[in-house]
Structure 1
Amino acid sequence: MFDLDALRDAARIIRPQVPPTPQYAWPLLQRRLGCELWVKHENHTPAGAFKVRGGVLYVHELMRREPEVRGLITATRGNHGQSLAMAARLAGLPIRILVPHGNALEKNAAMRAFGAEVIEHGQDFDEARQAAGELAARDGWHFVPSLHPDLVRGVATYALELFEAAPPLRRVYVPIGLGSGICGLIRTRDLLGMDTEIVGVVARGADAYAQSFEQGRILHTERADTLADGMACRMPAPEAFELIRNGAARILRVDDEQIRQAIRILHEDTHNLAEGAGAAALAAAIIERELNRGERIAVIQSGANIDRALLANILAEPAPRIDDSGRVATAAGA
């Protein structure tokens, strides 16, 4: 794993392409949850998600190690692919990106806009990932995994920004896809010598990491069903699982309706757009509202790349209201 000097070096490399994102303590969110709540706005990166940090660093380090690389191949549900497409364009490299059938149309369009060749294959991310590896071996292109030390070190720069800009935090809620975001957060906390709790968040319909965390061993699920495509993982990565098992306080499950509700709340209270995974951390903080009362916490808004039709459907539903005491005034309690 990287040390603090290597992390700061990564921030220096990434900063020209990905300026630091803000972290705000929004008054309406604080009133709604009864605590000092900071939002780390990774939805404000040039690709609309935290993953771009890892993509920029990964390609930078790859070109230094393998300057003769012919092209890149990877698999994604969207944000990982956008980050690599942007980084590949900056490096002058061609890139092919495999996505499962039915992937978000606007994410596919964004990857193509960065210059990527987008190929639909398989029914879910894991099938697309297997095919991408086979295609890379066949054509002699470099296969970019979804989890790699350079990807983790790159995305960890958001954690460095958060911990150094915000006051000391009691806990941070972070969504888990394959694990780079939470791993970067855990490692950065440890390097800074902080005692902040890290709470992972998964979708109830894609809870392989939660099951694995609870059982103390890696478990795969048959399906990954959730509107939060950034968390639709059914096969945890062993290297990520070890760090999460040793460094996270717990992993919470949120269902799709709780995610939808958090998307509406973020829009109403902060006027920020969130994709499903981007709202999951807030959904988990709402679940633990009583635990957090009076505390200083943070949530990672990991991305904003949500299709317009889905967003319009979600925002058409009423957002929860708050009463004069700041408590949620709905039967649902969220």
Structure 2
Amino acid sequence: MTLRQGVDATGTEAAGLDNVIEVGGLRQRYGDFEAVRGVSFTVPRGEIFALLGTNGAGKTTTMEVLEGFTPATDGTVRVLGLDPIRHRRELRLRVGIMLQEGGFLGDLTVAETVDLWKGLSEDGGRPVTLSGTTTLPGSFNLMGRVRGVDRRTMGALELVGLESKARTKVRQLSGGQKRKLDLALAVLSAPEVLFLDEPTTGMDPEARRTTWKVIENLRAGGTTVLLTTHYLEEAERLASRLAIMHEGRIHTYGTVEEVVAGSGDTVAFRLAGVTWSFGDLPSLDGTVPTLTYAGGGTEVTYTLTGGRAEARAHAALRPLLKWADERGETLERLAVRRGTLEDAFMRVVGEVR
């Protein structure tokens, strides 16, 4: 699959798979404001797909349409082949949702909250089971240790690391612990599709990594996951593919490797003196450097985006070193750095601005 920018994120490879989520030309308006502007992408079964973007990029709005909370202004949206609005009842039996905020009842204990949600799920026809085809971490090893707490409730709490908080009132939980409780409720019925809107916000690094393991195990068991996140390392760790949204549009998408490769590699060094100009320096693969004058020297940076990602930095060093040798110049603090997901993200934001 070739990385493309500013186009839909369906892709020919994904189109040939069993797509669990399909979005085509989605537009969402609120009065005169268009929050989502022609977004398209697909998510095959068993994949984790990440939506990245700045605040207000349209990520949560896109999720709300997919979750059936609001109808699309225009375009087509399908989850498990069904319209999220017209087939809301059928989808609720097969989909788990973790919103940005759970809206818990603060005076209930953690266990009581799970019991309440479990009862609502079962009344709605959703059997509560955490087994299914997925072996999740801590498979009910602690069930029944807290007197009066249902075994399945303890299994859910153990899954997300809240078993010691079973008797704690929800209002006493930290922000990160409330996010764990959100996740426990979202996976109670072992959903086929899981929507996670910023799932690890407020968690400490250890809790975040524990949550990542839960999500990875769900994916290994066949669950399809669509998540939004502001943590780029989270997307790199979890996602098979990702898209970067800005101002309501998808600007870049692909696998993590493809997106990172598209951000380019950098070659940076320092030259003595402040008399250097663009014309003095070589063009590397058609790239002109940026120059910064400071401390009696010139900081030179090339960003390489052409050619094969695996070889472009190596190819660029040859003419650069030859240029330095011919002039007797020293490339002080010469460094070659592979592009990062942050580079790709900032490039999207910078290009649009």
User: Larger helix proportion, structure 1 or 2?
Assistant: 1
User: Larger strand proportion, structure 1 or 2?
Assistant: 2
Q: Which has the larger radius of gyration?
A: 2
Q: Same fold (TM over 0.5)?
A: no
Instruction: State the TM-score, normalizing by the size of structure 2.
Output: 0.24
